[in-house]
Amino acid sequence: MHSLNDLKYDFLQYIEIEKGRSALTVRNYDHYLNRFLKFANTDSPSSVSESIMREYRVWLNRQPARKAKKGQPADTLDKKTQNYHLIALRAFLKYIRKRGVQSYDPERIELAKTSQRELDLISEKDLNNLLNAPDVGTKTGLRDKAILELLFSTGLRVSELCSLDRDTDFRTGEISVRGKGGKIRVVFISDDARDAVKKYLNERVDIDEAMFIDHSPRALSRMKKEESVRLTPRSVERTLEKYAVLSGIAKKCTPHVIRHSFATDLLYNGADLRTVQMMLGHASISTTQIYTNVTNKFLRDQYEKFHSKRKGKD
């Protein structure tokens, strides 16, 4: 007799080993499934019914997103977060059925409708100001310049950038990176990014294998103990926040915003959606299609700008 808790344990091992999901993804799936199992209050796969599922959807929709401030009502979970719970549950139920265990049909779980996603973008002027903000007269400034140029040149996720090692060969103008799900893809490096990385690495005298490291006094003491001081994604995020302020950029500015800029820049200049999908490492082209809303507006603006000029001449 299979129990839901035992099957959950097997499922988490399955997505980690067979599917190659990251430790963070496995931890999130565990959290989402634990919430459902606690709500359902059953350990029998066959007892997961339509009524339990409907009540769970209502319960999810009413859950507070975080603790409310004193005297103020708490925000409820947004539709996107609710869908994360449902996606995890659907994947779990599919796995159960694959194992030949009778339970609720995962195809009957419909995701909540969400509002159309808005992209966080910065202007070309702001982007140029950001890229030129680091003081390249310092080692930290050289590092930050290399980070910014590399992010915009490749569209790397911040986790992918932080996982790069200093022995990565940039001479061919392309490198292989391991993205989500352990999938390998090729990204291309601009001359500016390659030069910036080279200048930074030439200033390094340490033996840390990481391409980008912490140069703070506290990190130096860790280096003496032969500990790695590889930059974390959060450190890179803080770095971008700092340069956004220095550049006078009022909008939110994160590594993912630079990734958005990389994608829209490709589309503006004629790249097709499938190419952008491959360069970003998206598993599904539907994820890449969020950029078409931005580029469609750009094309309309260009049409109105240039077509109206032609009509004026006629």
- Please report the pLDDT score of residue 113 as a whole number: 78
- Please report the pLDDT score of residue 156 as a whole number: 94
Question: For the domain bounded by 124-302, which CATH number is listed?
Answer: 1.10.443.10
- Please report the pLDDT score of residue 117 as a whole number: 58
Is 178 annotated in the active site?
A: no
Q: Which residues contact 139 (CB under 8 A, 6 or more apart)?
A: 200, 203, 204, 215
The active-site residue out of 85, 90, 145, 282 is 282
Q: Which of 27, 87, 37 is nearest to 59 (CA)?
A: 37
Is 31 annotated in the active site?
A: no
Bridge partners (DSSP) of residue 176 are: 186
Q: Each residue of 154-184: b (16+ CB within 10 Å) or e?
A: bbbbbbbbbbbebeeeeeeeebebebeeeee
The active-site residue out of 180, 199, 204, 222 is 180
Is 180 annotated in the active site?
A: yes
How far from each other are the two terminal CA atoms of the chain, in whole angstroms? Answer: 80
The active-site residue out of 8, 143, 230, 259 is 259
The active-site residue out of 8, 143, 157, 194 is 157
Is 291 annotated in the active site?
A: yes
CATH 1.10.150.130 spans which residues of the chain?
A: 4-108
Is the distance from CB of 225 to CB of 191 less than 8 angstroms? no
Bridge partners (DSSP) of residue 213 are: 230
CA gap 238, 253 in Å, rounded: 10
Count Cα atoms within 13 angstroms, Cβ side, for 251.
13
The active-site residue out of 14, 32, 243, 291 is 291
Count Cα atoms within 13 angstroms, Cβ side, for 110.
5
133's tokens: 């903000």
- Please report the pLDDT score of residue 107 as a whole number: 93
The active-site residue out of 97, 139, 178, 256 is 256
67's tokens: 């603790």
- Please report the pLDDT score of residue 11 as a whole number: 96
- Please report the pLDDT score of residue 131 as a whole number: 95
- Please report the pLDDT score of residue 118 as a whole number: 59
Query: Superfamily for 4-108?
Result: Tyrosine recombinase, N-terminal domain (1.10.150.130)
Is the distance from CB of 253 to CB of 241 less than 8 angstroms? yes
In the block, which residue shows the tokens 């893809």? 185
What is the DSSP track for 157-206? -HHHHHT-BTT---TTSEEEEE-GGG-EEEEE--HHHHHHHHHHHHT--S
Q: Within the chain, which residues score under 70 in pLDDT?
A: 1, 66-74, 114-119, 293-314
- Please report the pLDDT score of residue 23 as a whole number: 84
CATH 1.10.443.10 spans which residues of the chain?
A: 124-302
